[in-house]
A and B are shown apart, each in its own frame.
Chain A
Amino acid sequence: MDRRSAALVWRWMIPAVLVAATAASAQKPTGAPMDGNALLRRVDRQLNPPSFEAYKRIVNVEPDGRTREYLLYSINDGRDKVAALFLSPASDKGRSTLRLGDNMWMYVPNAGKPIRITSLQSVIGGVFNNADILSLDYSAEYDVASVTDSADQFVLALKAKTRAVAYDRLTMWVTRKDTLPVRIECLTPTSMLIKTLTFGTIRDFGGGVIRPATVETESPLYKGYKSSMTFVEMKSRRFPAEVFTLTYMPNLESIRR
């Protein structure tokens, strides 16, 4: 086997075997032991490439039907680096946010310097908080406590790895067919429901990225209010580590292509 052939085998055959093996393991009959954390990591990869850029449209809907829309350009790298730039509305244009693990900052052009923010705040108001907008891989923040396996879906009970995570517990409904989440309930340590995230409209973004294009949320804490996040564009892209720094926040616009 020449070097080129060997490279092709490494590039395609090994991932194919791994995917087939994972898919096969997901089809185990109910009651068979299952590595929940491996399943969660697969959910993460089905949702997002390891490193990507995306345009997200967030809409807040008030009880009287009035809406307010935000457009964000966001970049993710690895499991715990996210940066986002507000493109509209005009009052928020140029604001950027950065998340490195549990650390979050917001840069407002008028104020001129980044300030620390927390995951439970919301830079846009409404039901989505900063942790929802700057979401990391679920497996970076949660361990799988249990998996319930039924005919067409898995139900994962997730527990936060640290107290710095926005929601202490999650219940995640995942389709067996494509390992994508359809619903997530965010809970307090006492099982009180904070909000529900509903995923919909599976879309092919190109480059092998096929995932729900919309995430809608409601919360009993915000009765009558709704928020939705629509992924307008999404594609795999690698970024230099330097763009995920406070110093680079004012320059985030320069990496948009």
Chain B
Amino acid sequence: MTRLFGAIGIALLVSTSAGGQEPTVDIPPIERKAFSLGGYVELRPAIVWLDSSAALFKLRSAPGDQVESRNTQMNARLQLDAGYNRSWFSAQTRTLVEGGFANRAWSRDASVYEAYVSVKPSPAFTLDAGKKTLKWGKGYLWNPAAFLDRAKSAEDPALALEGFVVLSADYIRTFGGPLQVLSVTPVLLPVSSDLNASFGDGDHVNVAGKVYLLFWDTDIDVMYLSGGSRPARFGFDLSRNLRSNVELHAEWARVPRAVTMVLAGNDALIAREQPATNVVLGLRYLTKANTTFIADFFHSASGYTPAEAEQYFDLIQRGYDSLTIAGDVGLLGLARRATEAGYGRMNPMRNYAYARISQPDALGVLYLMLGASAIVNLDDRSYSLLPEVQYKPAGNLELRALANIQRGEPRSEFGEKRAIVRLELRARYSF
């Protein structure tokens, strides 16, 4: 009898839902492969207009060098992403091969950006081992809370970054109520002369961790890095939609004993230790016309003051003069060491603003994107403007033209850059 009721139930369900059935369309099946290989190849011809009077031009020049005001380059990049994915186990690699021709010389480089294996005994737990990019933080260009990452490219913040060899795990819990998600990510990052040497001082196992919360519709990360190869630090970031078209994001990092290498008055490079709080605060706004505006403010308490930056540029000028007149390389050598120690890092000063406007499907053309970004050094009023045009004429082909125009007073950050204008075309084919 119960079987009869069951059969009636099935019949009712099917008859209720299948009444309007039409002939099916021919839809090809989906392929499922354990191995995957992809990536892109990119050609990047560029023209660079140089400022031979700029300090950073002189830093890399020697008296007698043939000075050209314009430099033509041809660069190429190949990114190969390979993966194996089977149930609870996966492996990923990302390799970049770059080559270029500039100043009548060829250059080439190959780097493994990522190569790690993942074990997922359950969806709630993942263990990763190998070279991996972690990409912490919410800021678009600056990420003071990205304790285990390299700096982004100002011209292309979305570009893949090289990772470090780590052992990391993700443990995820979900809940009902205001706290929807909690995940914990502990990380071990060993450093020795042969492993992760670019991270910091050698022979340490750096312990770091991040706790992620989705709480009241707000993404919150709290992160920590133990002392070791770099000074200990802790911080947090958050991101939240204030309205459906307005997003707020912020990062905050505290380094109780931040060490900054600064030039002393007696032409010496000394370590300055002080507590530092670094902050990013930003907004993203989407208009009804689908135009996106992004504005980020960045304060780095461990950055250089305008006076310290001027001192650095003065040192380069004096070093260049000393080399030209007396053949003495001492001061220029010191300037190069100062550059490596911190003055040469991306945006090394204290206060910056980043603004970006982008319009997809611009001028009524699908896949045409017009955009422009600006990085302004609020301390010395110098700036970098980055207009760009991007078009995808075919599914896997992307064409992009972008410029980087750098302006500023003498002894300002962007006023002393080697390049006044850099104009680059990129043709990327994904496969």
Contacts and interface: CB of A to CB of B under 8 A. Distances in A.
Contacts of B367: 68, 125
A112 to B, nearest CB: 4
B17 A9 contact: no
Interface string A77-113: 0000000000101110110000011110000111111
B286 A242 contact: no
B9 interface: yes
A256 B87 CA distance: 9
Please indicate which of the listed interface residues A60, A115, A239 has the most CB atoms of chain B within 10 Å of its own CB.
A115
Contacts of A57: 27
A142 interface: no
For the residues of B in contact with A, the DSSP-based class is mixed
A204 B21 contact: yes
B244 A118 contact: yes
B161 A112 contact: yes
A100 B174 CA distance: 12
A19 interface: yes
A34 interface: no
A1 B200 CA distance: 73
Interface stretch (A132-140, A143-151, A208-216): A208-216
B265 interface: no
Given A213-B27, A247-B212, A46 B17 contact: yes
Given A246-B212, A247-B170, A178 B181 contact: no
Given A113-B135, A242-B123, A8 B25 contact: no
A110 B244 contact: no
Contacts, number: 217
A178 B159 contact: no
Contacts of A13: 5-6, 8-9
Nearest to B143: A113
Contact of B392 (A91, A214, A240, A245): A91
B66 interface: no
Interface string B96-119: 000000000000000000000010
Interface string B14-25: 101111111011
A202 interface: yes
A100 B158 CA distance: 24
Contact of B239 (A8, A116, A126, A164): A116
A202 B2 contact: no
Given A8-B2, A68-B395, A125-B360, A255 B25 contact: no
B17 A11 contact: no
Interface string B124-138: 101000000111110
Interface string A162-184: 01101000000001011110000
For the residues of A in contact with B, the DSSP-based class is mixed
Interface residues of B, number: 86
Q: What band does the interface of chain A fall in when counting residues whose beta carbon is under 8 Å from B?
A: 35 or more
A128 interface: no
A214 B172 contact: no
Nearest to A60: B366
B286 A102 contact: no
B120 A16 contact: no
A240 B124 contact: yes
A38 to B, nearest CB: 15
Interface string A1-30: 100010011011101100110010000000
A247 B13 CA distance: 39
Interface string B254-298: 000000000000000000000000000000101010101000000
A246 B5 contact: no
Contacts of A46: 17
Given A8-B6, A20-B12, A243-B123, A111 B90 contact: no
Contact of B12 (A19, A126, A247): A19
Nearest to A211: B17
B183 interface: yes
A126 B366 contact: yes
B245 interface: yes
B9 A16 contact: yes
Interface of B: 1-3, 5-10, 12-14, 16-22, 24-25, 27-30, 32, 36, 38, 40, 81, 83, 85, 87-88, 90, 118, 120, 122-124, 126, 133-137, 157-161, 170, 172-174, 180-181, 183, 185, 212, 214, 217, 219, 239, 241, 243-245, 247, 249, 284, 286, 288, 290, 292, 360-361, 366-367, 392, 395-396, 398, 428, 430-431
29 contacts: A9-B2, A11-B6, A13-B5, A13-B6, A15-B9, A15-B13, A16-B13, A19-B12, A19-B16, A23-B16, A90-B40, A91-B396, A91-B428, A93-B36, A109-B160, A110-B159, A116-B247, A120-B286, A121-B292, A164-B243, A179-B16, A202-B22, A203-B22, A203-B24, A204-B21, A230-B27, A233-B29, A242-B172, A253-B90
Interface of A: 1, 5, 8-9, 11-13, 15-16, 19-20, 23, 46, 55, 57, 60, 62, 68-69, 71, 73, 87, 89-91, 93-94, 100-103, 108-113, 115-116, 118-122, 125-126, 163-164, 166, 175, 177-180, 200-204, 208, 210, 213-214, 225, 230, 232-233, 239-248, 251, 253-257
Which 6 A/B pairs are nearest by Cβ-Cβ distance?
A16-B9, A12-B9, A112-B135, A12-B6, A91-B430, A241-B174
